Amino acid sequence: MSLRTYEEARPWVRSIKTRVESRQMPPWHIDRNVGIQEFKNNRALPDVDIQTLVAWVDAGAPRGNPADMPAQRQFGDDDSWAIGKPDLVVRFPKYKVPVAGPDLFPNLVAPTGLTEDRYVRAIETRPVGLSSRRVVHHAVTFMLDQMPDAPTGVAPDSSLADAELIVEYASGKAPEIYPENSGVLLKAGSALLLNSHLHSVGEETDADVEVGFLLYPKGQVPKSIRYSTHHGDPAPNPLDSLDIPAGTVARVDGYTLHTKPGKIIAWQPHMHIRGKYQCFELIYPGNPSNVMKRETINCANWDYNWHSVYNYKDDVAPLVPAGTVIHIVSWHDNSAANRNNPDPQNWVGYGDRTVDEMGFSWIGWIDLTQEEYEKELADRVARRKAGKTTTQQQQQQQD
C-alpha cells in the first residue's frame, strides 16, 4: 500500500490501526518486556505516536486542514543505495531462474578489482529490481583470495572450503553499518563468492545481485575486526538439529562457546516460515563456587519477511568474558494456527529450502583483550553507580 497522500492512506486506516497497535509495523520485533532495549536505528514507534494514530482512526480518520499539510516527502527510487553512494560495487553474473522447479543454490563469483587491501565500514547487499527481489531468498557473500576458475561465473561448492564470510543478506534486511573504528578486510586481488538461494515464482526471472561497500580511506586500518557467524545451531551436524512434529510448536536449543573476551554489537535471528519466537541468552563461566550465571539478552517475535539486525548502542552492547556460552532458543510453529505454514500435516527438519527450517542467530562481535574487557567492564560499573547517585540526589531534592 502507498501512504504518501491522504487519498492513498484513507482506505487502509483500519489495517493501519491493527498493525501499528500490535507493533507489527513498523517492523521491529524485539520483545519490549525482555532484556536490552537500547538499539541504534530503532524503527519502533513511541507509545505516544501509536496512541495518536489509533485515536485518529477511532475518530473516523479526519483529513484535517489541507493548508497545514507539509510539502510532499521525496523518496529515493527502488535502486538507490541506503548506505549512500558506495566506494566499491561488485555485481555478480545474472542467473536465470526458471518458471518452476526446485530451489537453486548457485555460487556466483566476481572479482573485487582491488589492487590493495581495504577495510570496510558498511555493506549493503541488494537484488537489482523488483523481479530479482522476488526470487532471491538469501545471498551470503564470501571472499576468496583470488578469482576461481569459473568460466560461466558459477563456482563449485568446493570453493566455499577456502572462503571467508563477509556478510549475509536475506529478505527485508537492512545494510550492515559497523561501529566506529571497526570493520572487515577486503584483500587486494580478491574475488567475492555469492552463495545464493533462488526460488521460482511462476515466470522466468533473472536473479541479479550486487554488493556495495563503504571503505575506510586507503591505508587506514581500524582498531577492531568485526566478525559475524552462525551461533546456536542446535547440533554439530545441522541436518540432525531440528525435529518438528506435525501440528506442534517445537523448541530447539543451540550453544556456541566464546573462548576469548569480546563485545557483542549485533543480533540477527534467523528461521524460516514456521519460525515463531527466538531468544538470545548468555551463560557466563562459573565463579569460584562454580555457579554459572545466565542472562537473557533479548527475545524477538519472528516474521520471515523481515530479517532484521538489532545493533546495540555502544554503552549497552553485551560484554562477554572468555568462556561464555551463547545460548539460542528457537520456537517453530508447525501447526495449522500458523497461517504461513504450507503443510501442518507433515514433519519438518533442517534444510536450506524455504519449506525446510532453520534455527540459529547471526551474532556480530569484536574481540577484546583481557585488559580491554576489564577496563570497559569497570567503566560501565562506574557509570551505573554515578547514574544511581545522581538519581538518588534528584529524588532527595524533590523530597
Express each pLDDT in 346-365 by its tens digit: 999 998 888 899 999 999 99
**CA-angle at 189, arms to 183 and 190, nearest 5°:** 55
Other CB atoms within 10 A of residue 356 CB: 15
pLDDT averaged per 10 residues, the chain (length 399): 89 94 90 94 91 95 90 77 93 95 93 96 91 90 90 85 90 87 94 94 93 96 91 76 91 93 95 95 78 89 91 94 95 94 92 88 94 94 77 50
241-271 tens-digit pLDDT:
788 999 999 999 999 999 999 999 999 999 9
The pLDDT, as a whole number, for residue 29 is 94
The pLDDT, as a whole number, for residue 393 is 47
- Give start-end residues of each CATH 2.60.120.310 domain in the chain: 88-222
What architecture does CATH give domain 226-368?
Sandwich (2.60)
pTM score: 0.86
Q: Name the class of domain 88-222.
A: mainly beta
Angle between helices 47-58 and 13-21 (to 10 degrees): 150
- Residue 181, by phi and psi: left (phi above 0), alpha (psi -120 to 50) or beta? left
Rounded to the nearest 5°, which phi and psi values hold at 48? -65, -35
The pLDDT, as a whole number, for residue 3 is 86
The pLDDT, as a whole number, for residue 282 is 96
- Give start-end residues of each CATH 2.60.120.230 domain in the chain: 226-368
Residue 41 in grid coordinates: 536505528
The pLDDT, as a whole number, for residue 396 is 46
